[in-house]
């Protein structure tokens, strides 16, 4: 059995008993990467030399009584839009293909404090724009369950690495579904925390009012451990929330008797694959068997969420990506005529097609004469979407539905049609707009590809989300299945 099939607690028990060293864990990770990475393509940069040196230091510590971090010795991968000092960070963009960060993101500092080992940086859609990893400007990551299929995105490398055993856990980022949807497509657990729970300092900004970092793991308990390590107020992020951080692991007590579940009819209606719907209904039966009750509810503004999201996220992106001008970092175009020409050439050569499309959409939506009609209108509709959730949460503890309307699709099948691609996010986007937490847990297969169950909670109520996900997971076997590579 692979060490990566063990739970965090089991690995720590073996480390304590000296049956295992951190170097063994890191060896095994790179061995697995050596076997499967040429198929999966989850990583953009490996950190092997440093990781092995770090493992040796941790092994020295293991021989002493020094207190150990929460994630001690666990080999982790980090999405390549989270900056790591001295370790290349590209956002999967040619523009940043040589970028060598001069500081660590707050979550990276927290992982160091928790004593996990960074294996490398993970592939993604360029600047987190996309849902398939086909927008990586280096190479697409492949779905470990079927190498001809997309892993989802934008955190496709983060999900594929966990599913294929190329990392014990990973960090991703979620703007409109970019942790949950790839977790669903790859059959792993992906958590998007409440907006503001995890610091965004050092996350290369895509849409600042939506971006949130979260863990991708093989099981819910590990998700709770990683969240514990990365959550908390940070004065380097002005949108960081000052809230008390509960003990997430102790919330996993299996008790969901009397839990009230709302199931939005919009999440099981038109556009949802019948096989996905079937898996979700079967999961609701399992939860009923554990003492929960569910009723159909309505989130009436769901159909407006995708349009709202693309206007807001693209507008924010057009502003955030203005910093990439070739002056201070990134790849500067050769032989510019003058300063403006340098900006234009560097950006035009450095950005891929989807990034340009969203910058264009956002610039248009923010431009003089259109601001009220598009950007302001979308901000107002966002309020209505958020109110939908407030109303349901007045009477229900969690909202449950699918994570994505379908399972993973074949590579290349949707690249010519951006609008269809955007509609893959129809059930993750409203949650992002409302800013509330949600997790995707494996709930079965349709035509050989994994299906994800999305459990959505009240703001800052990750404990309930994790408890429900854990209770469900422990009653099923889906999370134990691994792809054959």
Partner 1 sequence: MSISVKDVEHVAKLARLSLTDEEKEQFTGQLNAILKYAEKLNELDTDNVQPTTHVLQIHNVMREDENRPSLPIEKVLRNAPDEEDDQIRVPAVLE
Report the interface residues with partner 1, using CB under 8 A: 98-100, 102, 195-196, 209, 235, 238-239, 241, 301, 303-304, 306-308, 310-311, 318, 322, 325-332, 336-345, 347-348, 351, 353, 356-357, 359-361, 363-364, 367, 373-374, 376-384, 386, 418-419, 422, 433-435, 459
User: Based on CB atoms, which residue is closest to partner 1, 52 or 386?
Assistant: 386
User: Based on CB atoms, which residue is closest to partner 1, 23 or 432?
Assistant: 432
Min separation Cβ 102 and partner 1, Å:
4
83 phi/psi in degrees, rounded to 5 = -75, 140
20 phi/psi in degrees, rounded to 5 = -155, 145
Min separation Cβ 115 and partner 1, Å:
25
Contacts of 207 (CB under 8 A, 6+ apart): 175, 312, 313, 314, 316, 317, 320
Min separation Cβ 311 and partner 1, Å:
6
154: cis peptide before it, omega within 30°? yes
User: Based on CB atoms, which residue is closest to partner 1, 114 or 342?
Assistant: 342
Min separation Cβ 195 and partner 1, Å:
5
Report which DSSP code applies to 374.
I
CA-to-CA distance for 107 and 221, rounded, in angstroms?
Answer: 19
Structure tokens at 196: 């503001």
Structure tokens at 348: 């035009």
Min separation Cβ 161 and partner 1, Å:
26
User: Based on CB atoms, which residue is closest to partner 1, 145 or 310?
Assistant: 310
Look at phi and psi of residue 146 and say left if phi exceeds 0, alpha if psi is from -120 to 50, else beta.
beta
**Chain centre distance of CA 247:** 22
Positions marked active-site: 79, 154, 178
User: Based on CB atoms, which residue is closest to partner 1, 65 or 372?
Assistant: 372
Cβ–Cβ under 8 Å, residues 79 and 118: no
Structure tokens at 32: 């697995």
Strand, helix or coil for residue 45: strand
User: Based on CB atoms, which residue is closest to partner 1, 325 or 473?
Assistant: 325
Min separation Cβ 59 and partner 1, Å:
31
**Would you tell me how many other CB atoms lie within 10 Å of the CB of residue 213?**
29
Of 270, 267, 263, give the one whose Cα is nearest residue 285: 263
CA-to-CA distance for 75 and 30, rounded, in angstroms?
Answer: 10
User: Based on CB atoms, which residue is closest to partner 1, 56 or 332?
Assistant: 332
**Would you tell me how many other CB atoms lie within 10 Å of the CB of residue 450?**
28
Cβ–Cβ under 8 Å, residues 111 and 230: yes
Min separation Cβ 101 and partner 1, Å:
8
């Amino acid at each position: 059995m692979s060490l990566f099939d063990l739970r965090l607690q089991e690995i720590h028990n073996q480390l304590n008993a000296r049956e295992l060293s951190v170097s063994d864990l890191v060896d095994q990770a790179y061995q697995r990467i050596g076997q499967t990475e040429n198929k999966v393509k989850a990583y953009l940069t490996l950190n092997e030399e440093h990781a092995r040196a770090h493992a040796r230091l941790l092994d020295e510590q293991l021989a002493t009584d020094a207190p150990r971090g929460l994630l001690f010795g666990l080999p982790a991968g980090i999405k390549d839009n989270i900056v790591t000092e001295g370790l290349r960070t590209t956002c999967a963009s040619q523009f940043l293909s040589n970028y060598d960060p001069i500081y660590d993101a707050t979550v990276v500092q927290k992982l160091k404090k928790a004593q996990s080992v960074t294996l490398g940086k993970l592939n993604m859609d360029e600047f987190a724009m996309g849902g398939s990893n086909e927008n990586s400007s280096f190479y697409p990551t492949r779905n470990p369950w079927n190498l001809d299929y997309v892993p989802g995105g934008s955190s496709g490398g983060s999900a594929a690495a966990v599913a294929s055993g190329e990392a014990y856990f990973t960090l991703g980022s979620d703007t409109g579904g970019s942790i949950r949807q790839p977790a669903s497509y790859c059959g792993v657990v992906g958590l998007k925390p409440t907006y503001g729970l995890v610091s965004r300092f050092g996350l290369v900004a895509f849409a600042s009012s939506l971006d949130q970092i979260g863990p991708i793991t093989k099981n819910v308990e590990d998700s709770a451990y990683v969240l514990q390590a990365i959550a908390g107020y940070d004065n380097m992020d002005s949108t960081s929330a000052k809230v008390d951080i509960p003990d997430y692991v102790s919330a996993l007590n299996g008790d969901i008797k009397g839990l009230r579940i709302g199931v939005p009819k919009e999440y099981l209606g038109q556009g949802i694959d019948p096989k996905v719907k079937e898996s979700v209904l079967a999961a609701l039966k399992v939860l009923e068997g554990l003492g929960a009750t569910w009723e159909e509810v309505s989130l009436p503004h769901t159909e407006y969420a995708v349009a709202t999201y693309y206007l807001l996220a693209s507008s924010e992106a057009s502003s955030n990506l203005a910093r990439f001008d070739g002056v201070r970092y990134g790849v500067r175009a050769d032989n510019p005529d003058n300063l403006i020409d340098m900006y234009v050439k560097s950006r035009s050569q450095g950005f891929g097609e989807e990034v340009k499309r969203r910058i264009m959409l956002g610039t248009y939506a923010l431009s003089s004469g259109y601001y009220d009609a598009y950007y302001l209108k979308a901000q107002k509709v966002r309020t209505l979407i958020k109110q939908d959730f407030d109303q349901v949460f007045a009477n229900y503890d969690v909202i449950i539905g699918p994570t994505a309307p379908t399972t993973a699709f074949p590579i290349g099948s949707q690249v010519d049609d951006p609008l269809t691609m955007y509609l893959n996010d129809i059930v993750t986007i409203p949650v992002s707009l409302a800013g509330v937490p949600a997790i995707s847990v494996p709930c079965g297969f349709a035509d050989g590809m994994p299906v994800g169950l999305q459990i959505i909670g009240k703001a800052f109520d990750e404990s309930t989300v994790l408890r429900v996900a854990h209770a469900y997971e422990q009653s099923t076997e889906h999370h134990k299945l691994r792809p054959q590579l």
